[in-house]
Amino acid sequence: MPIYMEISPLHRLVTIVARGTVSGDEVRATAQKLADAQVRRFAKIVEVAGASFDFQPADIMVLAQMLRADADGRGPIAFVVRDLDQPFPRMFADQTAHEGPVDLFKSIHDARAWIARIQHAPRLAPVAEAWADPDRQGTVIRGARTREFTTRELVN
């Protein structure tokens, strides 16, 4: 069993551990499980220090596409590696850094600390931007009557 995955909804964290030789099919199957679980915005710790990868660089792009998040972005990805130049994690990080935080670490403790800093950082969005969601839904309740509306209806 070269890949083990655990999803913690409470902590919004996915932990993946890979051991031995991992094929492109195994990586794609893991990515599909992540996509099906709808955890793209969760933080991910991917421990690959004890793994080697038997697939092509094009497989990394397929993986990145499967993990691509919605418009709100992807959760941070921390790779735990034996070598900071390990090919698979380095190529994935280089090719997807613009999509969300991704970095390589030599210890699980450093990876967890990095994710904790990102998850608990204060959000510095301007006040006007905080309410600028055009798809926001609302409900007005008066007694036993309710009315659903979108923010677009409030502008008129």
For residue 11, pLDDT beyond 60: yes
**pTM for this prediction:** 0.72
**CATH code of the domain containing 80:** 3.30.750.24
Distance separating alpha carbons of residues 23 and 81, to the nearest angstrom: 17
Which region among 25-39, 114-128, 132-146 has the lowest average model confidence (pLDDT)? 132-146
| Chain-centre distance for alpha carbon 107 | 20
Note whether residue 156 is domain-resident.
no
List, for residues 44-83, the tens digit of each pLDDT value.
999 999 988 887 777 777 777 766 655 567 889 999 999 8
Note whether residue 85 is domain-resident.
yes
Q: What is the mean pLDDT of the segment spanning 104-113?
A: 95
Note whether residue 21 is domain-resident.
yes
Q: What share of the chain is helix, strand, coil (3-state, %, to 5)?
A: 40, 30, 30
Note whether residue 137 is domain-resident.
no
Total domain count, the chain: 1
Q: Is 140 or 43 the better-scoring residue by pLDDT?
A: 43
Residues spanned by the domain of 71: 3-123
